[in-house]
Amino acid sequence: MTETGTEARQVEREAVLDVDLDRAWEAISDPDVLSEWLADEVDLEAVEGAPATFTFDGDERPGRVERVEERRGLSFTWEREEGRSSLVELRLTPCYRGVRISVRETDLGATSRVAARMWATPLARLRAVADLVPA
Amino acid sequence: MTASTTDAVFAALGDPTRRRLVESLAAAPATATRLARDLPISRQAVTKHLVLLRESKLVSVERRGRESTYSLRPESLGEVTGWIESVGAEWTERLDRLEDTLSGG
């Protein structure tokens, strides 16, 4: 596992959803709806600090909800591959045609390195996670 | 690397100065002084950015004479673009599924 280019590993995508904000928020915060598109199965509660599980091809990957802004956005960390964590930020913005959803995933590097920077309080954890994300 | 993946790597670098530095080094290795000449920031500031680029292994450094020479590490860029391309493709697929889910009802 390498830390090569960790800072540069970030992708962004967005789409406009032809639904109202409540439905868009449900799509990113309700585990039943998330299981329709995010992964084969998602076990997640939209509460900051709550652990979450994402199943890909029968493989369960652990994660944690990092930030919840009701009807605005949801961020979580997950191990997309074993031992390597990344931060996923989902953002909703109402627009003329519906709701724009933007997603940004940032590689955080080795999970052990991420875990070592996590502290007891949710706020400190959020700050620690924010520190790992390039500006 | 195609122009669009280069753009993706540059965008992912997240800082316009670091993107400029990577572009310059893609053309040729250079010292911090040379790089600073093309930028509206001090040589010290350039060095700070180069340190970050070295930490993420996109850039390597060689001591030749009075000043160190920095070079781009293309193999590291390849690893980065690989991640960007496959993760990016995943998200495109996910958003397609999301749109299908929401339109299907």
What pLDDT score does A1 carry? 32
Compute chain A's Rg from CA coordinates: 15
C-beta separation of B54 from B73 below 8 A: no
The tens digit of pLDDT for each residue in B5-60 reads 555 566 556 788 888 898 888 889 999 999 999 889 999 999 999 988 887 778 89
Instruction: Tell me the one-letter amino acid at A62.
Output: P
Q: Which residues contact B55 (CB under 8 A, 6 or more apart)?
A: A7
What is the helix, strand, coil percentage profile of chain A, to 5?
Answer: 25, 45, 25
Which chain B residues have any C-beta within 8 angstroms of a chain A C-beta?
Answer: 8-9, 11-15, 52, 55-58, 76-77, 79-80, 83-84, 87-88, 91-92, 94-95, 97-103
Helix boundaries (H) for B28-73: 32-37, 43-55
Q: Is the pTM of this model over 0.80?
A: no
Give how far A73 is from chain B: nearest CA, Å: 15
Residue A133 CB-density burial (10 A; 0-12 exposed, 13-18 middle, 19+ buried): middle
User: How far, rounded to the nearest angstrom, does the alpha carbon of residue A77 sit from its chain's CA centroid?
Assistant: 5
User: Would you tell me which residues 31-60 of chain A have a C-beta closer than 8 angstroms to some C-beta of chain B?
Assistant: 33, 36-38
What is the arithmetic mean of pLDDT over A113-129?
56
Q: Long-range contacts for A66-71 (Cβ within 8 Å, ≥24 apart)?
A: A66/A125, A66/A126, A66/A129, A67/A126, A68/A29, A70/A25, A71/A21, A71/A22, A71/A25
Alpha-carbon torsion A51, A55, A61, A63, what sign? negative
How confident is the model over A12-38, as pLDDT tens digits?
Answer: 999 999 999 999 999 999 999 999 999
Beta carbons of B12 and A23 less than 8 Å apart: no
Mean pLDDT within A115-135: 57
Residue A74, pLDDT > 50, answer yes
Test B101 with A9 for CB contact under 8 angstroms. no
Report how far residue A79's alpha carbon sits from residue A54's, in angstroms, rounded to the nearest whole number: 9
Structure-token pair, residue A64:
């944690």
DSSP B86-98: HHHHHHHHHHHHH
pLDDT of residue A119: 47
Angstroms from B74 CA to nearest CA on chain A: 11
Which pLDDT score, from 0 to 100, does residue A71 have? 97
Going by C-beta distance under 8 Å and a sequence separation of 6 or more, which residues neighbour residue A90?
A: A28, A73, A74, A75, A101, A102, A103
* More confidently predicted of B76 and A83: A83
Looking at residue A107, what is its pLDDT? Answer: 87
